[in-house]
């Protein structure tokens, strides 16, 4: 079978389409014929070089497809059958540590992400433990089913578990065009909150409004922190969903209200930020770290999908043979929503 792999870190040319052996399954696994697999910024970072990535590495964290073989345990305990339409969960955990048993599996000591610390899913066939495979919602295409798990569970966990968003809240969401941003807008609106988001051009701003954002700040021409204060009558927002880091941190601190929460899951513009601790404790603000999410988050998100309160946003679909072009498209910031590879 064919799989997208890297044998070394570097530019687009390190992405190879290799012919490798078909995976065999364990009793608790299913074999999936992949229909679509999504790209994330994680793929770009893995390609360029993250310490600890085993090489060669099959790329990709999330995929959708058809079950073609079922292990005995996967059939008897999880009731999977050949022909089931499914998507893969973009995490792996041990299932028996304190964090897993207490519903905090994204804190698991053995937490892993496919395509980073274990083999990914950008291949014609993948073997996946049945407890990390969900049935595909009937109202999603293959591409949509592959595109929502990672960004969707990340955004849902940030808003629901970490920030405890409520209808009376104002939420600032950075990067409307990103996977997390476009997901968070819809999730915050599903909870009844008021949403301010950011975009870099008129087209992306218009698309953010179509997703449900109440206000869009053109960061290429408006100061974010000051504009947030103007929109909220000088108060600031209750919650900031932050994944950009250095370049926007000063605006983030200015935008959040007294007693507000900053939830951060990334640092795409750099990890080194400055903060005056006196302002933090005087204003009683919270800075909360968040990584990915849990299967519980995905279950809740699927419920929103089935109620048509959430829809994965696809920017562009590439044949898997054009994986270099797909990486370039994502890295150049052309996407609004997710970039997907079709197998």
- The stretch 274-294 carries a mean pLDDT of 95
What pLDDT score does 154 carry?
98
- The stretch 241-267 carries a mean pLDDT of 95
For 284, phi then psi, to 5°, come to 55, 45
| Band of pLDDT at residue 268, cut at 50, 70 and 90 | confident
153-289: CATH topology is Quinone Oxidoreductase; Chain A, domain 1 (3.90.180)
Residue 190, pLDDT > 90, answer yes
Q: Is the pTM of this model over 0.85?
A: yes
End-to-end, the C-alpha distance of the chain in Å comes to: 11
- The stretch 240-248 carries a mean pLDDT of 93
Mean pLDDT of the chain: 97
- The stretch 167-188 carries a mean pLDDT of 97
What pLDDT score does 51 carry?
85
SS3 content of the chain, % helix, strand, coil (to 5): 35, 25, 40
Residue 39, pLDDT > 90, answer yes
Residue 319, pLDDT > 90, answer yes
Domain residue spans in the chain?
2-148+312-342, 153-289
What pLDDT score does 84 carry?
98
Helices (H), 179-282: 179-190, 202-211, 224-231, 249-255, 277-282
Half-sphere exposure of 233 toward its Cβ, with a 13 Å CA cutoff? 1
Residue 106, pLDDT > 90, answer yes
2-148+312-342: CATH topology is Quinone Oxidoreductase; Chain A, domain 1 (3.90.180)
Question: What's the Cα-to-Cα distance from 17 to each of 36, 55, 338, rounded to whole Å?
Answer: 15, 14, 21
Give the H/E segment covering residue 6.
strand 2-6
- The stretch 96-121 carries a mean pLDDT of 97
d(CA 88, CA 75): 16
Q: 2-148+312-342 with 153-289: one CATH topology?
A: yes
Residue 173, pLDDT > 90, answer yes
- The stretch 102-120 carries a mean pLDDT of 97
Percentage of the chain beyond pLDDT 70 is: 100
What pLDDT score does 269 carry?
86
| Band of pLDDT at residue 189, cut at 50, 70 and 90 | very high
49-95 confidence digits (pLDDT tens): 988 899 999 999 999 999 999 999 999 999 999 999 999 999 999 99
Q: How many CB atoms lie within 10 A of CB 170?
A: 24
């Amino acid at each position: 079978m064919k799989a997208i792999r890297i044998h070394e870190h570097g530019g687009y040319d390190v992405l190879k389409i290799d012919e490798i052996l078909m995976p065999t399954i364990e009793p608790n696994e299913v074999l999936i014929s992949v229909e679509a697999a999504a790209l994330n910024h994680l793929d770009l970072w893995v390609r360029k070089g993250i310490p600890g990535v085993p090489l060669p590495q099959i790329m990709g964290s999330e995929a959708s497809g058809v079950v073609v073989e079922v292990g005995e345990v996967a059939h008897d305990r999880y009731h999977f059958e050949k022909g089931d339409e499914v998507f893969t969960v973009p995490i792996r955990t041990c299932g028996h540590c304190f964090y897993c048993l207490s519903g905090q599996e994204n804190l698991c000591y053995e937490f892993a992400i496919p395509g980073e610390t274990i083999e990914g899913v950008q291949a014609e066939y993948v073997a996946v433990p049945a407890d990390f495979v969900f049935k595909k919602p009937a109202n999603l295409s293959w591409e949509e089913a592959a595109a929502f798990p990672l960004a969707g569970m990340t955004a849902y966990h940030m808003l629901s578990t970490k920030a405890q968003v409520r209808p009376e809240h104002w939420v600032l969401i950075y990067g409307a065009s990103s996977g997390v941003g476009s997901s968070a807008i819809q999730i915050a609106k599903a909870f009844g909150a008021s949403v301010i988001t950011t975009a870099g051009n008129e087209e992306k701003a218009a698309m953010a409004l179509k997703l449900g954002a109440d206000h869009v700040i053109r960061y290429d021409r408006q100061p974010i922190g000051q504009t947030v204060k103007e929109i909220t009558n000088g108060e600031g927002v209750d919650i900031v969903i932050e994944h950009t880091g250095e370049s926007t941190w000063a605006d983030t601190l200015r935008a959040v209200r007294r007693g507000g929460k900053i939830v951060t899951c990334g640092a795409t513009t750099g990890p080194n930020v400055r903060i005056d601790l006196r302002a933090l404790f005087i204003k009683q603000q919270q800075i909360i770290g968040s990584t990915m999410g849990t299967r519980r988050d995905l279950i809740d998100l699927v419920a929103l999908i089935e109620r048509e309160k959430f829809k994965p946003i696809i920017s562009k679909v590439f044949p898997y043979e054009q994986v270099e072009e797909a990486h370039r498209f994502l890295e150049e910031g052309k996407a609004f929503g997710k970039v997907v590879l079709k197998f």
